[in-house]
């Protein structure tokens, strides 16, 4: 018997609360947060990465205010309907992800008006011909008529408020025009305050919040508020309690220990934090993992925006520069996207998270193995022009999880051979500009080869750290996969004679400074690797591999 047949269906791609509840899909109850928001205020803004449950939250608010009590049976919000003051309210819901922006300003306006007309029909309201000529006028009239016709103020729900602006991420002048249109449009919500009971607005970024919502200074931004840090995504407790049967089923199918499966899921899909204290699992990846029972990069591969590749290229980013990067608590407060720092951009897009708080500073990092390996591959492609990196990463992962260290220099060299010549020439020009001492091996040259190797290891989903301390120094790279550990020292030389000498020095350094001593007594062998890249040949020409 198929064990999945007896388990609740996984709500992959389900964004409608009513459909989810009526069709028997698994639901992780987040309704306590919604009731708390209603009890605590009346106008909120929440930013979260894509595919994190924002649309489902909007739909849940819709059902809550619309009085669909039966859908909430057994959930935290069920008690809300029993309150003496409770009454159903009309809902105006706008999904800005459906706004068409690529065919001119008039098309965008008409697209927004169509959504307003749809809301009017929902409440059996006829808008005036004058209102239908302008989105702002149409929204203002809709809010007034809905409240008058129903005899009660409406709940206004806006999903993906920033999507029209993000469509023009790389065209600042066009983005400015769209921001102006949306600013006038959203301003109507505050101007119609006497007709509005509750406002909840979501988006991916906060970059445009000040610009687009400049007139809506009544919005409370809960994006990084502690009490709502886990409003979206799955906590560890929710994973274990709601997905317990799926964990057992997966462990059985994969013939793995239950605790090991949990550890792997945590490693791949946990780690998102919006306050530096509470962490959540990526819901989209978690659901897809339980369906496929395979560790894949589901979230990243689902629809990584093309502008991310361009952003990496334009800003010449280094992937390891963001691990442990310190940022102020207001580092996401840039008025617009074009003024944002790289760490702010990557955080709000979901590619960086808050690892911890240190006094008044936030420590950033990549949230988990899925994101780290995906971003590493994106860097190999976007920054170094290596489209073959996915194949190389897959081959290296398979090799190192079996302890086949000799495959490392071969696969690394295959990647170096694919590197466009102009990348080498650019780096070599910088060597000559920055270093004038003859026969000196530039630190920049070593950093270049080191960065590509490091990024390759990360893209291969291999746990990798740089410059790990021992009692006599710091190793270049230490990596682990499936219990196999690798201690790597990377050097750069000019010519075969210098390369051969450097390989011996690398191995002597690893042993002499005790880089691997901390791994003594491990169940699986520890492999020491000395790699030397010859700049004259642009590849690894010498290496030493020894096993402890």
> In angstroms, rounded to a whole number, what is the distance separating the alpha carbons of residues 327 and 506?
36
As given in the structure block, the two tokens for residue 163 are 């999507």
- The confidence band for 311, taking pLDDT boundaries of 50, 70 and 90, is confident
Beta bridge mates, 95: 159
**Tens of pLDDT along 493-504?**
999 999 999 999
Ramachandran angles phi, psi of 70, nearest 5°: -60, -30
Q: How many of the other CB atoms lie within 10 Å of CB of 375?
A: 26
Verify that 77 and 182 share a domain, yes or no.
yes
445 contacts 406 by C-beta, under 8 angstroms: no
The size of the chain, in residues, is 548
> In angstroms, rounded to a whole number, what is the distance separating the alpha carbons of residues 184 and 197?
20
Residue 456 sits in which domain range?
393-547
- The confidence band for 35, taking pLDDT boundaries of 50, 70 and 90, is very high
Is residue 422's pLDDT more than 90? no
User: What are the angstrom distances between the C-alpha of 228 and each of 32, 65, 120?
Assistant: 10, 20, 32
Last residue of a domain, one of 176, 210, 228: 228
**Over the range 31-54, which residues count as b (16 or more CB within 10 Å of their CB) and which as e?**
bebbbebbeeebbbbbbbbbbbbb
Beta bridge mates, 92: 156
Helix%, strand%, coil% for the chain, nearest 5: 50, 15, 35
Of 12-21, 130-139, 404-413, 416-425, give the lowest mean pLDDT range.
416-425
Average pLDDT, stretch 291-315?
A: 82
pLDDT at 472: 73
Does this model's pTM top 0.85? Answer: yes
Last residue of a domain, one of 210, 228, 246: 228
Q: Where are the alpha helices (DSSP H) in 151-207?
A: 163-166, 172-191
Q: Are strands 154-159 and 43-47 parallel, antiparallel or unpaired?
A: unpaired
As given in the structure block, the two tokens for residue 264 are 């792997």
- The confidence band for 279, taking pLDDT boundaries of 50, 70 and 90, is very high
> In angstroms, rounded to a whole number, what is the distance separating the alpha carbons of residues 506 and 518?
18
pLDDT at 310: 75
Verify that 403 and 362 share a domain, yes or no.
no
**Is 488 domain-assigned?**
yes
- The confidence band for 254, taking pLDDT boundaries of 50, 70 and 90, is very high
Q: How many domains does the chain have?
A: 4
Verify that 16 and 138 share a domain, yes or no.
yes
- The confidence band for 2, taking pLDDT boundaries of 50, 70 and 90, is low
**Tens of pLDDT along 346-372?**
998 899 999 999 888 999 999 999 999
> In angstroms, rounded to a whole number, what is the distance separating the alpha carbons of residues 383 and 369?
20
**Is 274 domain-assigned?**
yes
> In angstroms, rounded to a whole number, what is the distance separating the alpha carbons of residues 303 and 95?
18
As given in the structure block, the two tokens for residue 147 are 């409240």
Verify that 256 and 144 share a domain, yes or no.
no
**Is 32 domain-assigned?**
yes
**Is 314 domain-assigned?**
yes
Verify that 433 and 481 share a domain, yes or no.
yes
As given in the structure block, the two tokens for residue 501 are 């000498």
Verify that 256 and 320 share a domain, yes or no.
no
59 contacts 13 by C-beta, under 8 angstroms: no
**Is 375 domain-assigned?**
no
Residue 482 backbone zone (phi > 0: left; psi -120 to 50: alpha; other: beta): left
As given in the structure block, the two tokens for residue 71 are 């859908």
- The H-or-E segment that residue 537 falls in is none
Verify that 400 and 494 share a domain, yes or no.
yes
> In angstroms, rounded to a whole number, what is the distance separating the alpha carbons of residues 129 and 316?
51
Average pLDDT, stretch 442-452?
A: 76
Verify that 247 and 212 share a domain, yes or no.
no
89 contacts 154 by C-beta, under 8 angstroms: yes
Mean pLDDT of the chain: 90
**Is 494 domain-assigned?**
yes
377 contacts 459 by C-beta, under 8 angstroms: yes
**Is 310 domain-assigned?**
yes
Last residue of a domain, one of 271, 299, 327: 299
Verify that 110 and 65 share a domain, yes or no.
yes
Verify that 412 and 529 share a domain, yes or no.
yes
Beta bridge mates, 477: 466, 488
- The H-or-E segment that residue 46 falls in is strand 43-47
**Tens of pLDDT along 535-547?**
999 999 999 999 9
Q: What secondary structure letter does DSSP report for 325?
A: -
**Is 1 domain-assigned?**
no
pLDDT at 436: 47
**Tens of pLDDT along 133-148?**
999 999 999 999 999 9
Of 55-64, 123-132, 469-478, 480-489, give the lowest mean pLDDT range.
469-478
Verify that 168 and 122 share a domain, yes or no.
yes
Is residue 384's pLDDT more than 60? yes
> In angstroms, rounded to a whole number, what is the distance separating the alpha carbons of residues 377 and 399?
18
Verify that 202 and 106 share a domain, yes or no.
yes
The CATH number linked to 488 is 3.40.1350
């Amino acid at each position: 018997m198929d064990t999945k047949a007896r388990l609740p269906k996984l709500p992959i791609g389900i964004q409608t609360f009513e459909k989810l509840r009526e069709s028997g899909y698994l639901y992780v109850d987040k309704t306590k947060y919604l009731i708390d928001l209603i009890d605590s205020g009346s106008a909120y803004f929440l930013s979260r990465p894509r595919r994190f449950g924002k649309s489902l939250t909007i739909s849940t608010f819709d059902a809550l205010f619309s009085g669909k009590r039966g859908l909430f049976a057994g959930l935290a919000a069920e008690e809300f309907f029993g309150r003496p003051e409770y009454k159903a309210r009309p809902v105006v819901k706008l999904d800005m992800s459906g706004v068409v922006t690529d065919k001119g300003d008039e098309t965008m306006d008409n697209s927004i008006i169509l959504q307003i007309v749809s809301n009017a029909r929902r409440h059996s309201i006829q808008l005036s011909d004058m209102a239908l000529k302008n989105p702002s006028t149409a929204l203002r009239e809709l809010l007034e008529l809905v409240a008058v016709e129903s005899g009660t103020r409406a709940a206004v729900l806006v999903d993906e408020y920033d999507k029209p602006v993000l469509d023009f991420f790389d065209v600042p002048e066009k983005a400015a025009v769209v921001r102006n249109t949306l600013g006038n449009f959203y301003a109507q919500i505050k101007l119609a305050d006497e007709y509005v009971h509750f406002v909840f607005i979501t988006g991916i970024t906060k970059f445009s919040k000040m610009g687009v919502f400049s007139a809506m200074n009544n919005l409370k931004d809960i994006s990084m508020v502690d009490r709502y840090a886990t409003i979206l995504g799955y906590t560890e407790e929710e994973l274990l309690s709601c997905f317990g049967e799926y964990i057992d089923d997966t462990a059985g199918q994969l013939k793995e220990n239950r605790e090991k499966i949990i550890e792997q899921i945590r490693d791949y899909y946990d780690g998102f934090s919006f306050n530096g204290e509470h962490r959540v699992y990526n819901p989209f990846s978690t659901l897809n993992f339980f369906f496929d029972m395979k560790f894949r990069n589901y979230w990243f591969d689902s629809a990584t925006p093309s502008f991310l590749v361009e952003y990496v290229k334009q800003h010449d980013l280094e992937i390891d520069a963001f691990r442990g990067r310190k940022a102020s608590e207001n580092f996401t407060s840039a008025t617009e996207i074009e003024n944002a720092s790289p760490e702010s951009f990557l955080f709000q897009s979901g590619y960086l998270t808050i690892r911890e708080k240190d006094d008044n500073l936030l420590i950033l990092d990549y949230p988990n193995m899925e994101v780290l390996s995906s971003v590493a591959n994106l860097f190999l492609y976007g920054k170094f022009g290596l489209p073959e990196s996915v194949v190389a990463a897959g081959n290296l992962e398979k090799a190192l999880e079996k302890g086949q260290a000799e495959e490392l220099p071969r696969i690394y060299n295959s990647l170096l051979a694919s590197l466009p010549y102009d990348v080498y020439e650019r780096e070599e020009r910088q060597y000559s500009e920055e270093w004038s001492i003859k026969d000196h091996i530039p630190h920049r040259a070593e950093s270049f080869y080191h960065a590509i190797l490091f990024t390759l290891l990360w893209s291969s989903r291999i746990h990798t750290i740089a410059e790990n301390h021992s009692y006599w120094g710091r190793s270049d790279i230490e990596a682990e996969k499936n219990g196999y550990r690798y201690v790597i020292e990377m050097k750069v030389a000019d010519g075969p004679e210098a390369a051969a000498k450097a390989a011996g020095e690398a191995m002597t350094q690893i042993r002499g400074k005790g880089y691997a001593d901390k791994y003594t007594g491990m169940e699986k062998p520890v492999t020491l690797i000395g790699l030397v890249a010859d700049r004259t040949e642009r590849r690894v020409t010498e290496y030493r591999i020894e096993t402890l």
